[in-house]
Amino acid sequence: MEKLRIGIIGYGGIGEKHAASITTGKVPRMELAAVCARSPARQAVFREEHPGIPVFDTAEALYRSGLCDAVLLATPHYDHPPQAIEAFSHGLHVLTEKPSGVSVKDVKALNEVAARSGRVFGIMYNQRTDPVYQALRSMLRSGELGPLKRITWIVTDWYRSQAYHDSSTWHSTWAGDGGGVLLNQSIHQLDLWQWLFGMPDRIWARAGFGKYHRIEVEDDVMAYFEYDSGVTGEYITSTGEAPGTNRLEIACDMGKLVAENGRLRFWRNEVPERVFNDTNTIPFGKPEYREEDVPVGPSAGAGHPGILNNFADAVLDGAPLLARGEDGILALTISNAILLSAWTGDMVDVAGFPAGRFDSLLKEKIWQSAASK
């Protein structure tokens, strides 16, 4: 079997997880060819877990080794754009962990390089492999729901204790992470939002910075999305609620859908609500509906291994990517817009996002950050 030789840049928790997926056969067409770990302690851990596989001190040394056809970036957020750009310059394919960067400005530059490289560029948006969201996307694209009215997503099951934030001196700081719950955790749901519903046109938001933890960055967010079509959205996320909720509710002309607990439930109107509104003559009349479970596919092959397998197929066979690296700028734009609105109190234009203004305010946060001292 032809295999893709991949190198992992960064051997922290997520890098270790990806290495295990590859070496235990969950990604049959991928071979772990090398790893880059800057920490001697992490190098020792890797050598013990995967004896015989080369370990490098720097990404540059791994890129130049000739051992790899592609790299997987599992490093801090700010490193993703420059490391990906450098990898492309060495003719390597790139799969980056989420997010693709911290600011829209940097990721736009990365996307331009990727477009010229002729290499495959993917991103680890593994929740796109979830059969619930795939079934929902199919329904949305079929038109069977009719026009959408409202989207509400409560994502507060990303609980993190103070111990998580204290696990590294750079963690949960503007200089180290570049953001909190929006970049570290719920960037997955922001990606799913645009993947399912498209990009909002305007965003207004409020956020708590260190509301539940001794940290600099946001750990509680409430955002309001507007679409030119009239659709509205509410997005609520936090790392300070336990046990938390992950519930996506969609109001549409044909009824209501709820995605929660691995289940997709549809309250389907017998007739479209707008048709009922125009024809009903009973003052307190309501459309009749029926409740149904929407069939979803099997979860086998989902998650991180699903993205890894798809990436291998894309490089080796030209298969379409489930999560294109270029798509990383979309969820990041939503995240940047939420922060910008929270910082300024303004409604933020998404299509004409003021990336320069965001960068200027972010640099002020970085300068003041404890991790910069």
236-275 confidence digits (pLDDT tens): 999 999 999 999 999 999 999 999 999 999 999 999 999 9
Mean pLDDT in residue range 65-87: 97
Element (H, E) at 153: strand 148-155
Domain assignment present for 97: yes
Same-domain status, 311 and 340: no
Cα separation, 224 vs 195, in Å, equals: 18
Contact 215, 238 (CB under 8 A): no
278, burial (CB in 10 Å: exposed 0-12, middle 13-18, buried 19+): exposed
- Residue 36 inside a domain? The answer is yes
In this structure, the answer to whether residues 135 and 259 fall within a common structural domain is yes
Q: Kindly report the CA angle at 328 between 323 and 332, in degrees rounded to 5?
A: 145
Element (H, E) at 333: helix 328-344
* Mean predicted confidence (pLDDT) in 8-24: 96
Q: Are residues 353 and 212 in the same domain?
A: yes
pLDDT digits (tens, 9 = 90+) for 53-69: 999 999 999 999 999 99
Closest CA to 330 of 231, 142, 197: 197
Query: How many Cβ atoms are within 10 Å of 294's Cβ, its own excluded?
Result: 16
What is the widest separation between alpha-carbon atoms in the chain? 77
Give the number of domains in the chain: 2
Mean pLDDT of 34-47: 96
Q: Tell whether 84 and 190 lie within a shared domain.
A: no
Take residue 4 and report the two structure tokens written for it.
């893709």
Q: Is residue 300 very low, low, confident or very high in pLDDT (cuts 50, 70, 90)?
A: confident
Query: What is the C-alpha to C-alpha distance for residues 148 and 252, in angstroms, rounded to an integer?
Result: 4
DSSP codes of every residue in 230-298: S-EEEEEEESS-SS--EEEEEEETTEEEEEETTEEEEEEESS-HHHHHHH--STT----EEEEEPP---
The H-or-E segment that residue 15 falls in is: helix 13-23
Number of H helices, E strands in the chain: 13, 15
Q: Report the CATH number at residue 269.
A: 3.30.360.10
Tell me how far apart the alpha carbons of residues 264 and 196 are, in angstroms, rounded to a whole number. 14
CATH number, position 94: 3.40.50.720
In a domain, 345, yes or no: yes
If we measure between CA atoms, which residue out of 20, 47, 44 comes closest to residue 32? 20
- The per-residue pLDDT for 297 is 87
One-letter amino acid for residue 84 of the chain: A
- Please state, in angstroms and rounded to a whole number, the distance separating the CA atoms of residues 261 and 62: 41
Give the range of the structural domain holding residue 170, as residue numbers without chain letter. 128-298+331-372
Q: What is the pLDDT of residue 341?
A: 98
Q: Are residues 307 and 346 in the same domain?
A: no
Q: Which two tokens stand for residue 304?
A: 């991180």
This prediction's pTM? 0.96
Amino acid at 161: S
Order of all β-strands in the sheet with 30-36: 55-56, 30-36, 4-9, 70-73, 93-96, 121-123
Q: Return the ∠ at Cα 208 (arms to 203 and 210), rounded to 5°.
A: 145
For residue 320, what is the DSSP state? P
Q: Is 276 exposed, middle or buried (0-12, 13-18, 19+ CB in 10 A)?
A: middle
Asked if residue 150 is part of any domain, the answer here is: yes
Does residue 344 sit in the same domain as residue 253?
yes
Looking at the structure, tell me whether residues 196 and 292 fall in a common domain. Answer: yes
How sure is the predictor about 373, in pLDDT bands with cuts at 50, 70 and 90? low
- Under DSSP, the state recorded for 326 is G
Structure tokens at 183: 């970049």
Residue 59 and residue 169 share a domain? no
Q: Does a structural domain hold residue 356?
A: yes
Q: Has residue 207 been placed in a domain?
A: yes
Position of tokens 């955790």? 185
- Asked if residue 306 and residue 294 are part of one domain, the reply reads no
- The string of pLDDT tens digits covering residues 142-188 is 999 999 999 999 999 999 999 999 988 888 999 999 999 999 999 99
- My answer on whether 133 and 272 are in the same domain is yes
Neighbours of 277 (CB within 10 A): 12
Average pLDDT value for residue range 70-82: 97
Computed from CA positions of residues 289, 290, 293, 295, in that sequence, does the dihedral angle turn out positive or negative?
negative
Q: pLDDT tens digits, residue range 265-275?
A: 999 999 999 99
144 shares a domain with 118: no
Is residue 257 a part of any domain in this protein?
yes
Identify the bridge partners of residue 6 per DSSP, sorted by sequence position. 32, 70
**Residue 326 located in a structural domain:** no
Closest by CA position to 216, among listed 21, 16, 367, 15: 367
**Is the same domain home to 342 and 359?**
yes
